[in-house]
Amino acid sequence: MARRQNSAPPEDFTEKIIDIDVETEMEESFLEYAYSVIYSRALPDARDGLKPVQRRILYMMTDMGLRPDRGHVKSARVVGEVMGKLHPHGDSAIYDAMVRMAQDFSLRLPLIDGHGNFGSLDDGPAAARYTEARLAAPALTMTDHLDEDVVDFVPNYDNQLTQPEVLPAAFPNLLVNGASGIAVGMATNMPPHNLGEVVAAARHLIAHPEASLEDVMRFVPGPDLPSGGKIVGLDGVRDAYATGRGSFKTRATVKVEQLSARRTGLVVTELPYTVGPEKVIEKIKDAVTAKKLQGISDIVDLTDRKHGLRLVIELKNGFNPNAVLAQLYRFTPMEDSFGINNVALVDGQPRTLGLLELLQVYITHRILVVRRRTSYRLQRKRDRLHLVEGLLVAIVDIDEVIQIIRASDESSAARERLMTIYDLTEIQANYILELRLRQLTKYSRIELEKEQDQLRLEIAELEAVLGSEERLRTLVSDELAALSEQFATPRRTVLLESEAAAPLKGSALPAPAAKGAKAVLPLEIADDPCWVLLSASGQLARTSDRQPFGDGQRIKHDAFRSVLASTARGEVGAVTSGGRMIRLQVMDMPALPPTAGIPNLAGGVPSSEFITLERGESLVGLAPLGAVVALGTAQGVVKRVQPDYPLNRDDWEVISLKPRDRVVGMAAAADADDLVFITRLAQLLRFPASAVRPQGRTAGGMAGIKLAAGDAVLHFGSVSSGDGQGVVVTLAAPGDALPGTAAGSAKITEFSEYPVKGRATAGVRAHRFLRGEEALSLAWAGHGPARAASANGVTRALPTEHGRRDGSGVPVTQQIDAVGPNLVGLIEATRPAVPEPVAPPAEPASSSGRPVRTVQPTDDGQGTLL
């Protein structure tokens, strides 16, 4: 192992020790370092909105010819060129800056067109050797006209190359794309804005240099974040625009959706700026585990490239979506704050700028760029005009010019002779000498004179621009307008003055409370009274309250078959034709928004989502689980069921049916009500409900109506005793024709005209058939006036007058047109409401005292009755 040997200093060595104050040295060194970080690394220039590394990337990519109309190249190649020629720092810093300029979720107007994995809000990008890049179209406007002396160039780090001190920047990049950076002792954090709005504000400021901040904010009301979302509360934005410092709250865009028949969810389509879905999912799971969040059953990320962000948060039944959302805003990044700190370099010094100052600095820079470009173009035009004028002088006697050149011993002599003979300048003479003989053919006198005139016009125009400050500012404004028309896009972020203006989509409830504020909404939905609705087309829903409907059976494109009073956390039973009752949770049904009129069933779901029917089985209606329910079967059996249903089952039998029998009707029936059977052969039996004692759910019932051979029950129901609105409607059609293909007859009679008979009797005749008629097609007894409903839910009103018998006792009937085959039956037109509705006035009777109305089919072919 070698040993270190101490060698003596040389004989002429003189020791010199200088005492340095450590405090002074540290202060000076730190200031140099801080200035280097501020000026050369962390803070953007207020003119082009770029940090040095970003500016060098764009300039080098322009120099490499990576235009949008050319192919992508490896990102590593760009990083290497920038690092080797302009930016002698680590490749990771260069690549990170390059990646950010390609991310559409970071910049409002990306400057680099990336190909490959350039990362997401939750994941980093792939390595530079895997990705490819080229300039985006807006980046060309940032570097355009660099070859026309529009900005100053400075040496690179080794003084071998030059680079632009600032880019021309055809649009206000600092405001449009924002910036963020941490320097020594200061930092910057600027949000992106909408290009169209910023350009409109800049043009207004160009036209009105004395404009105030309020005038400018009419064009730029607030930031426009790439991720969209909502900005709630604009006071902080106004402070930032006035002073350069402020903050605002951003919220996710959320709407309520019915995920399934039983599940409601919060669907997140936009998140706050710089917040990724994986971060939100993680925070939600942590908050649910810590029991800070309640009412959430699952969260699914359905984000893809086709549909964009879609985060589905499934809610448990019975929880208020707005209250759950308020918890999400409080405990997760679905609500975030953005602190504005507009620090940028102005003349090499860091300054905190408001909106007006930022626009003024950019406009001043852009006016200087256009002035320098115009001066450069003017000089080029003057130089060309000078050459053209020399050619026009020489082309008049081109043969003599050639002879002078041939006779000269050297080019200097030829130059002197041309300058002397034709009074040319040295530049003109050199240009003529440098022409090749083949070029002389295109220089005709007419063409040169035309070019001369055109050059003089262009020079006059450029001189006019330079000579008028107003025309120069107008030119800058017009160029900004053209750029805005090409690249501007609609606003993505919604600006809300306050939280009261931020309702939850799909919900009629008030907006949630702010983060940190005391919640004013109940987390769980209260057990409030409501209506449970079953429509003729099989839609199930519930209302959010129990307001009266008026004539609540008729709604647009549908009709109510069952309307049952319940509560939001209650239960109801669905009775099927197979004698089963299925327990339904009211909370599982979608809630319709409150309305002053008839509820709209557009928000309902098919009953098949809740009820699984067997082959040949159909849904009869809804029944309360806490009241006695009467059932009637096709074979004439009647049963009143005791409400002693099992608590541990969701499906049970309520009547034991005989073979080939089925339930045709059901209704809640108190002892004071009357039960009604109507058969196909037009027999009607009315008897008191008290004649049928309630039985257990496994009983088979008792004889209700005595049926003749070939007869069957068509309708079973109950009518309140002594109700003056009770009516009986019977519809008959020829028995030898298909339903809906031949004319028939209809009859409407007051229910009070039918006598009360004993149970298990044949009843009385309710309809006298005309010639060719053999049976009833539809029958109904209940509260009038009635309506007919088809299978697609369309309803038509029936007459309100009641038919009476004449002296001979023959029912008066009216010939009707064909009745459609798809009718689900006759329904009650007036719902017992809260309060009780007023009965509609009766129409005057006919001259014979027997008012009868016509029943006609509709144009839709479904057989809906009038």
Return all residues near 480 (Cβ < 8 A) that are at least 6 apart: 170, 171, 199, 202, 203, 206, 366
Q: State the Cα torsion 629-634-635-640 to the nearest 10°.
A: 0
Measured from the Cβ of residue 320, the count of other Cβ atoms closer than 10 Å reads 20
Phi and psi torsions of 676, nearest 5°:
-130, 130
Helix (H) or strand (E) holding 465: helix 445-467
Check if 273 is active-site. no
Q: Which residues partner with 254 through β-bridges?
A: 268
pLDDT for the residue 304: 85
pLDDT for the residue 398: 83
What number is the average pLDDT over the span 222-243?
94
pLDDT for the residue 615: 87
> Are the CB atoms for 498 and 249 separated by under 8 Å?
no
What number is the average pLDDT over the span 314-341?
90
Of 298-312, 333-347, 359-373, 716-730, the least confident:
716-730
What number is the average pLDDT over the span 93-121?
95
The answer, yes or no, to whether residue 551 has pLDDT greater than 50, is: no
Distance CA 669, CA 630 (A): 6
Higher pLDDT, 470 or 734: 470
Distance CA 137, CA 141 (A): 7
pLDDT for the residue 388: 92
Distance CA 519, CA 502 (A): 16
Return all residues near 801 (Cβ < 8 A) that are at least 6 apart: 748, 842, 843, 844, 845, 846, 851, 852, 853
pLDDT for the residue 525: 74
What number is the average pLDDT over the span 357-385?
96
What are the residue ranges spanned by the domains of the chain? 36-169, 377-487, 529-828
Confidence of residue 318 (pLDDT cuts 50, 70, 90): confident
pLDDT for the residue 237: 95
Cis amide linkage into residue 350, ω under 30° from 0: no
Measured from the Cβ of residue 631, the count of other Cβ atoms closer than 10 Å reads 27
**Which CB contacts under 8 angstroms, 24+ apart, belong to 344-349?**
344/43, 344/44, 344/45, 344/46, 344/49, 344/174, 344/179, 344/188, 344/190, 345/38, 345/39, 345/43, 345/44, 345/45, 345/46, 346/46, 348/39
Confidence of residue 823 (pLDDT cuts 50, 70, 90): very low
Distance CA 522, CA 319 (A): 9
Name the one residue in this structure whose structure tokens are 């800070």.
292
pLDDT for the residue 257: 87
Listed ranges 532-536, 552-556, 822-826; the one with the highest mean pLDDT:
532-536
The answer, yes or no, to whether residue 107 has pLDDT greater than 90, is: yes
What number is the average pLDDT over the span 801-812?
41
The answer, yes or no, to whether residue 847 has pLDDT greater than 80, is: no
Q: Which residues partner with 533 through β-bridges?
A: 541, 563
Confidence of residue 216 (pLDDT cuts 50, 70, 90): very high
Q: State the Cα torsion 700-701-704-706 to the nearest 10°.
A: 30
pLDDT for the residue 862: 30
pLDDT for the residue 426: 92
pLDDT for the residue 116: 94
Return all residues near 789 (Cβ < 8 A) that are at least 6 apart: 536, 559, 561, 795, 823, 824, 825, 826, 827, 864
The answer, yes or no, to whether residue 248 has pLDDT greater than 80, is: yes
Choose the CATH number for 36-169 among 3.40.640.10, 3.90.1570.10, 3.40.50.2300, 3.90.199.10.
3.90.199.10
Architecture of domain 529-828: 6 Propeller (2.120)
Between the CA of residue 535 and those of 275, 295, 573, what are the distances in Å?
Answer: 44, 30, 15
The answer, yes or no, to whether residue 507 has pLDDT greater than 80, is: no
Phi and psi torsions of 47, nearest 5°:
-80, -55
Confidence of residue 677 (pLDDT cuts 50, 70, 90): very high
Which residue type occupies 823?
L
pLDDT for the residue 52: 92
Burial class (CB in 10 A: 0-12, 13-18, 19+), 242: middle
Maximal CA-CA distance, the chain: 155
> Are the CB atoms for 370 and 479 separated by under 8 Å?
yes
pLDDT for the residue 19: 83
pLDDT for the residue 232: 92
Higher pLDDT, 651 or 31: 651
Catalytic residue among 35, 59, 130, 376: 130
pLDDT for the residue 514: 47
Mean pLDDT of all residues belonging to the chain? 82
What number is the average pLDDT over the span 477-501?
89
Confidence of residue 597 (pLDDT cuts 50, 70, 90): low
Which of 792, 793, 798 is closest to 780 using CA atoms? 798
Summarize pLDDT for 254-284 with one digit per residue, the tens.
998 888 777 889 999 999 999 999 999 999 9
Measured from the Cβ of residue 335, the count of other Cβ atoms closer than 10 Å reads 24
pLDDT for the residue 828: 54
pLDDT for the residue 173: 95
pLDDT for the residue 865: 29
Which of 584, 543, 582 is closest to 560 using CA atoms? 543
Distance CA 215, CA 201 (A): 8
pLDDT for the residue 282: 94
Confidence of residue 830 (pLDDT cuts 50, 70, 90): very low
Of 49-63, 273-287, 506-520, the least confident:
506-520
pLDDT for the residue 824: 45
Confidence of residue 742 (pLDDT cuts 50, 70, 90): low
> Are the CB atoms for 258 and 590 separated by under 8 Å?
yes
Summarize pLDDT for 682-718 with one digit per residue, the tens.
999 999 999 999 998 888 899 999 999 989 999 998 8
Confidence of residue 592 (pLDDT cuts 50, 70, 90): confident
The answer, yes or no, to whether residue 330 has pLDDT greater than 60, is: yes
Confidence of residue 858 (pLDDT cuts 50, 70, 90): very low
Listed ranges 549-553, 608-612, 701-705, 778-782; the one with the highest mean pLDDT:
701-705
Phi and psi torsions of 145, nearest 5°:
70, 20
> Are the CB atoms for 659 and 614 separated by under 8 Å?
no
Return all residues near 625 (Cβ < 8 A) that are at least 6 apart: 571, 572, 573, 583, 643, 645
506: region left, alpha or beta (phi > 0 left; psi from -120 to 50 alpha): left
In degrees, rounded to 5, the angle at the alpha carbon of residue 297 between the alpha carbons of residues 293 and 301 is 95
Of 437-446, 535-544, 750-759, 788-797, the least confident:
788-797
Summarize pLDDT for 559-569 with one digit per residue, the tens.
677 888 888 88
pLDDT above 90 coverage of the chain, percent: 47
The DSSP code sequence of 29-84 is HHHHHHHHHIIIIISPBTTT---HHHHHHHHHHHHTT--TTS--EEHHHHHHHHHH
Of 186-190, 229-233, 397-401, the least confident:
397-401
Listed ranges 294-308, 509-523, 558-572; the one with the highest mean pLDDT:
294-308
pLDDT for the residue 739: 55
Higher pLDDT, 248 or 823: 248
Q: Give buried/exposed letters for 728-748 (b at 16+ CB in 10 A, else e).
A: bbbbbbbeeeebbebbbbbbb
Higher pLDDT, 746 or 473: 473
Of 21-30, 49-58, 300-309, 765-774, the least confident:
21-30
Any idea which fold 377-487 has? Topoisomerase; domain 3 (1.10.268)
Return all residues near 270 (Cβ < 8 A) that are at least 6 apart: 227, 228, 229, 252, 253, 309, 492
Return all residues near 300 (Cβ < 8 A) that are at least 6 apart: 311, 312, 314
Between the CA of residue 547 and those of 5, 263, 451, what are the distances in Å?
Answer: 104, 25, 85
Distance CA 141, CA 128 (A): 25
pLDDT for the residue 281: 94
